[in-house]
Amino acid sequence: MKFVIEHLSDKLYEWCLIEYRNISGIVGRKNLIFTNIKNPNDIKKLKKFGNVKKENVVKLKLKNACLLDLKAKKTLNPTEAKNFDYFIFGGILGDFPEQGRTEKYLTSKLKNVEVRNLTNKQMSTDTAVLVTKLIAKGKNINEIKFVDNPSIILKNGKVQEEVNFPYRYVYRKGKPVISKELIKYLKNKKDL
Positive or negative, the Cα torsion across 133, 136, 139, 143? positive
Give the domain range for residue 152.
147-188
**Structurally, how many domains does the chain consist of?**
2
Stated pTM of the model: 0.92
Distance CA 69, CA 165 (A): 19
pLDDT digits (tens, 9 = 90+) for 75-120: 999 999 999 999 999 866 555 556 666 877 788 889 899 999 999 9
pLDDT digits (tens, 9 = 90+) for 141-160: 999 999 999 998 887 666 77
Residues 84 and 177 in one domain: no
Q: Is the pLDDT of residue 71 over 60?
A: yes
**According to the model, what pLDDT value does residue 107 have?**
80
Residues 180 and 96 in one domain: no
Report the SS3 class of residue 15: helix
Which of 68, 138, 55 minimizes the C-alpha distance to 102?
68
Residues 110 and 60 in one domain: yes
Residues 93 and 179 in one domain: no
